[in-house]
Amino acid sequence: MSPNAANWILATIVVAAMVPGIVALRGLEWPSDPDGFRDIAIAQAIQDGRGLADPHYAGERAWYSPLVPGVVALISTMTGAEIPVTFVQLGPWLNALAPIAFFVFVRRLVGLTPSVFATVAFLFLPGRPPVWASATYTPWLFPSVTAQAVLYATLATWTGTPEHTTTGRSPIWRVPLTGLLLGATFWAHSGAAVFAAGVMFLTRPKAAFPVALVASAVVSPFLVPLFLEYRLGVLNRVPGTWHHEPATLIAVLLPSFRVSDILHLAAAVAGTVWIRRHGSAQA
């Protein structure tokens, strides 16, 4: 497949995913999920000049990754639209960066043609709700979903670090850029950053250490004040006690094998076999 054909297919499928979401959210001014009200509150606090103050607890510091609310606050200030409206209407556009970044990452990892098929599966392979726990596209602005764009950009850059290339060489800026992106991933969603860091240390631990140092510097303005204020103490333990039922060990070991499960499993097996036969197509 030629690069031009791949790019046209990518543009077509991303638009096909976006259009229904844009239509569905037309005229809406408030989110559909309680998490949206949390992010709106954080965005409003940022726009009001209260920085990383917790919008729910007086006198406390914010603990939730603030990048997505910060983008909402910035766009709201630039356009003059209210924070809730900006939050809802920005979702279809900002989340479109995720499948694009996913395409770039897969292309660097295994090549052009597989990246097209993988992105089609990413966008249209049936999944199961809730959407905020699904690695796919949604018009709703959930940080866990939006953070995918930075996550895949981080992993795409990681595949170009010296120990991860066939030549053992890469531009000198590759490692610090990967660290910057990993830090930005944490600012978007801590879970995505932990996942990316785990991939790095499991695949290339030697190269991961300098990346982690850069990332630590990037996230320190957010984490250091939290540590100094609370010494890792937790005031509200309710969020930490919740668990997603389909992600429990029992659910993983005893899947329901719905049609979507079978399709995902078949795609995973096919992809694994392809990678083992054809190897990596590093850029």
257: in domain = no
243: in domain = no
Question: 82 Cβ partners below 8 Å, 6+ apart?
Answer: 29, 76
> Which residue matches tokens 């490692």?
175
Structural domain span for residue 162: 3-234
56: in domain = yes
- pLDDT at position 235 is 77
The answer to whether residues 87 and 36 touch, using CB atoms and an 8 Å cutoff, is yes
246: in domain = no
Q: CA-based angle 71:72:73, to the nearest 5? A: 90
Question: What dihedral angle (degrees, nearest 10) is formed by the CA atoms of 236, 242, 248, 249?
Answer: 30
CA distances from 101 to 5, 8, 156, 157 (A): 18, 15, 8, 11
Concatenate the DSSP letters of all residues of the chain into one string: --HHHHHHHHHHHHHHHHHHHHHHTTT--S-SSHHHHHHHHHHHHHHTT-TTB-SSSTT-B--S--HHHHHHHHHHHHH---HHHHHHHHHHHHTTHHHHHHHHHHHHHH-HHHHHHHHHHHHHS---S-GGGSSS--SS--HHHHTHHHHHHHHHHHTTSGGGSSSS---TTHHHHHHHHHHHHHHH-HHHHHHHHHHHHHH-HHHHHHHHHHHHHHHHHHHHHHHHHHTT--S--HHHH---GGGSHHHHHS----HHHHHHHHHHHHHHHHHHHH-----
Number of domains composing the chain:
1
The answer to whether residues 94 and 141 touch, using CB atoms and an 8 Å cutoff, is yes
270: in domain = no
255: in domain = no
Six-digit token string for 82: 């209210």
164: in domain = yes
> Which residue matches tokens 């004040």?
225
pLDDT tens over the chain, length 283 residues: 888 899 999 999 999 999 999 999 999 999 988 899 999 999 999 999 998 888 888 888 888 999 999 999 999 999 999 999 999 999 999 999 999 999 999 998 888 888 999 999 999 987 666 788 788 899 999 999 999 999 999 999 998 665 555 555 667 788 899 999 999 999 999 999 999 999 999 988 988 999 999 999 999 999 998 899 888 788 778 777 777 776 666 666 666 666 767 777 788 788 778 777 765 444 4
162: in domain = yes
> Which residue matches tokens 């096909």?
16
